[in-house]
Each structure stands twice: as C-alpha cells, then as structure tokens.
Amino acid sequence: MSRACRNCKVITEETACHLCKGTDLSDDYSGLLVVLEPEGSQMAQTMEIKKEGRYALKIR
Ligand SMILES: [Zn+2]
C-alpha cells in the first residue's frame, strides 16, 4: 500500500520515506502530482519539491 510522507509529501511504497528517510507516513492522503522535472514545474516550485516522483496534494 502506498503512503504519503508528511514531511515532503512524496508517495512511497516503503515503510520509510525514500527521500527524507522519515517514518511519519500517512495513508490518508488525496490528490496526486507527478513531477518529472522539478525545475521546470511551477507546481513543484510552489510545493518546494526538489526531486522527481509522485506527490500527494493533501495529507490529513
Ligand atoms: Zn519524506
């Protein structure tokens, strides 16, 4: 089951976030943002996303 990291919002299939190594994950998230080029995406800049990947828009 995929979960979203509360710290950096990335969606991960693992038990810890693969970006920040944090374990504050939530399975209660909504929205999906796929970032391919963080530098070229206004949305990614706004959300302060630095790496490509799948991100949750909202985490409860
Ligand atoms: Zn994280």
| Cα-to-centroid distance, 37 and ligand 1 (Å) | 18
- Average the pLDDT over 27-45 and give the result: 95
In the reported structure, the alpha carbon of residue 15 is separated from the centroid of ligand 1 by a whole-number distance in angstroms of 11
Ligand 1 (ion): residues with CB under 5 Å are 5, 7-8, 17, 19-20, 22
- In the chain, how many domains are there? 1
Q: What residues contact residue 4 under an 8 Å CB cut-off, 6+ apart? A: 10, 11, 12, 25, 26, 27, 29, 55, 56, 59
Predicted confidence at residue 12, as pLDDT, reads 97
CA of 23 to the centre of ligand 1 (A): 8
User: What is the domain range of residue 44?
Assistant: 3-59
Q: What is the predicted pLDDT for the residue at 1?
A: 85
pTM: 0.90
CATH number of the domain where residue 26 is located: 2.20.28.90
Residue 1 identity: M
